[in-house]
Amino acid sequence: MNKRIKYIGVFIILLMGVLIYRLAQIQLLETESFSEQDVNLMKESVKQRTQEVIIDDGRGRFIDRENKPLNETYLPTLVLFPFLKNYQWPIDQLAAAISVRKDEIEQLLKGTKNEPILLNKEKGFQLDEQDIKAINKLKIPGVFGIFMKTEQSDNIASHLIGMTSENETEWKKRYPDKEITSLSPEVGVTGLEEAFDEFLQPEDASRLLYHVDGLGRPLFGVNVKYIADSNPFYPIAVQTTIDKHLQEKAEQILTKHQINEGGLVLLDIENSEVVAMASKPDLDRNDPKTYENKMLSAMFPGSVFKTVIAAAAIDTNMIKPERTFNCDRNVYGQTEKEEEKRAGTLTFEESFAKSCNYAFATIGQELIQKKSNIIEEYAEKLGLLSFSGWSGKVYHYDQFKQFPREQRGTIWGDDSDKRSAKAIAQTSIGQKNVKVTPLAVANMMATIARGGEKREVKVVDKILYKNGETMYTFKNHLMKGEKISPATSSKLTDLLLQVVAHPDGTGRAFQSLPVKVAGKSGTAETGTLNDNGKKLYHKWFAGFFPAEHPKYALVVVDMNKTSGRAKTNDVFYEMVEQIYNVNEE
């Protein structure tokens, strides 16, 4: 019996020891890194007994080239803390100050589940700066008028700017030597939010907070603490090259013409800067399939790629004025079955203007016979195979990229394709394994317009401190490698002009625009079918304008469409018209 009591006693002592150790582990030893999940118990404890209103999360912001904010605004907001429903307070004065019924405020407080109430334009309460002053003049505990940083409901450039996500594990992985300053640390996961994440990280947030007990009642009376970010340098602003007005117009035009998959890229030619970039479908945080920025994705270019073949043909003196091509034939040299596809005998210039596949398949074969790598060589000279986006050393980043998700272009799937007449023919018209990004095609057009000078594309010009001083400037970069000559650029420009000027050119619809356009159309088979068994195509138009003194390069892509009239021309036309009207104004 005594033995059994001893065993029970030892067991109880051991059990108590384990419990005491566990309590010490939670309360003293592993307060900031508990269990395999690395839980910060102190922070979780603070979360449980703290209620707060984030006025400004302290994360850096994006502005356009004229310092206009993109995708965020500061809304006049009334904050009502929930403990007000348990106290007598001058609700009549507040109602009179903001012209809202007393019973409406009371109803809102009754309906809250111990969470602060935020009333602003998005909630149907039209408040202005004078209202905020009137609210704060009352000095009612638990009632505040603030200007709250808020994402705009009609976000623009959403794919370009990207998204953030609350992810403490990823935050610690990226910044192991930094101290977490937020209860819910965010990281950029797409677009510029991802590229500039380290610069955008908050030093601290501006917030209102108070401490509560288990029932949501104030622990220290009705005092609410205001914590403001007093750092004069942070948060920073990323100044993009985007023109906010033209970005909005681009997105409206794409929606109007029902471009459901695809988008456009508009570049300023002089500095190779992105003025507008829009991708469809619209970004939906709840649907990962919409995250991809199509303008940075490599895809079949179709006849737009004939520009590369034309450049190589010009430089190798392959094109003689008297040479013609039988464009009644298809890409494989067989007579076209459909009569409407027969174009008769055409010169090289006419073949380019009317996009004759047979002519460029023939030229491609001859080019490969002269030099096996000539097609990729000229694609590289025009900037289609390298990354087009700005990259370089920025502080401790040896290769910082403004477009981290940009894909490379490709020409051949396998060297054996260069020994196959059919594969060469398909490659020469931008099919088979040819894939390039719309961004790269826009930059190719800008390169031709600049006389052959290749530049990396910028979408961010500067990083600015909070006080407006410059933290970092992204200088213009030339692209490495060989380039086409000014003479070749001039001849390519003449060809691109004929696409629009020729009575039967594939870009003749642009003849009525107020400025002269040089460009190239493209229709690429994707090799896939829709639900009805119809072939799907990518429709392109890429060009620059005004042709005499080029200012802009523009690419429009309408992806996965069945055959028929392309919407790309409509979008291109209206975008040029819009830019011209804006410049005239």
pLDDT band at 582 (very low <50, low <70, confident <90, very high): low
pLDDT band at 339 (very low <50, low <70, confident <90, very high): confident
Q: Can you give the pTM of this predicted structure? A: 0.85
Residue 535 has pLDDT above 60, yes or no: yes
CB-count exposure of residue 410 (10 Å: 0-12, 13-18, 19+): middle
Annotated catalytic residue within 206, 272, 297, 303: 303
* Catalytic site includes residue 303: yes
> What is the maximal distance between C-alpha atoms in the chain?
118
**CATH number of 43-240, picked from 3.40.50, 3.90.1310, 3.30.360, 3.30.460:** 3.90.1310
Residues 563-578: tens digit of each pLDDT: 767 799 999 999 999 9
Residues 38-96: tens digit of each pLDDT: 544 444 444 555 667 777 888 899 999 999 999 888 889 998 888 888 778 899 999 99
Contact of 406 with 296, CB cutoff 8 Å: yes
Alpha helices in 50-126 (DSSP H): 91-98, 102-111
Question: Mean pLDDT over residues 145-156, rounded?
Answer: 80
The answer to whether domain 244-283+291-584 has CATH 1.25.40.10 is no
Start and end residues for every CATH 3.90.1310 domain found in the chain: 43-240
Residue 530 has pLDDT above 60, yes or no: yes
Residue 109 has pLDDT above 80, yes or no: yes
For residues 318 and 315, give the distance between their C-alpha atoms in angstroms, rounded to a whole number: 8
Strands 460-464 and 237-240: antiparallel
- What Rg do the C-alpha atoms of the chain give, in angstroms? 31
Residue 179 has pLDDT above 50, yes or no: yes
Start and end residues for every CATH 3.40.710.10 domain found in the chain: 244-283+291-584
DSSP tag of 251: H
Residue 215 has pLDDT above 90, yes or no: no
Place of tokens 């107020």: 514
CB-count exposure of residue 180 (10 Å: 0-12, 13-18, 19+): middle
Question: Mean pLDDT over residues 7-21, rounded?
Answer: 72
Half-sphere exposure of 487 (CA within 13 A, CB side): 5
What would the 3-class secondary structure string for 440-487 be?
HHHHHHHHHHCCCCCECEECEEEEECCCCCEEEECCCCECCCCCCCHH
Q: Provide the pLDDT for residue 83.
A: 81
Q: Provide the pLDDT for residue 180.
A: 75
Q: What percent of the chain has pLDDT over 90?
A: 63
Q: Provide the pLDDT for residue 46.
A: 46
Q: Provide the pLDDT for residue 26.
A: 55
Residues 229-261: tens digit of each pLDDT: 667 788 899 999 999 999 999 999 999 999 999
How confident is the prediction for the chain on average, in pLDDT?
Answer: 88
Question: Mean pLDDT over residues 446-457, rounded?
Answer: 98
**What SS3 class is residue 118?**
strand
Rounded to 5°, the CA angle 73-75-78 comes to 160
pLDDT band at 117 (very low <50, low <70, confident <90, very high): confident
Q: Provide the pLDDT for residue 21.
A: 63
Helix, strand, coil content of the chain in percent (nearest 5): 40, 25, 40
* Ordered DSSP codes for 323-375: -EEETTB-TTSSBPSSGGG---EEEHHHHHHTT-HHHHHHHHHHHHHH-TTHH
For residues 302 and 261, give the distance between their C-alpha atoms in angstroms, rounded to a whole number: 17
The sheet that has 273-280: what strands, in order across it? 273-280, 262-268, 552-561, 535-545, 518-529
Residues 265-283: tens digit of each pLDDT: 999 999 999 999 999 999 9
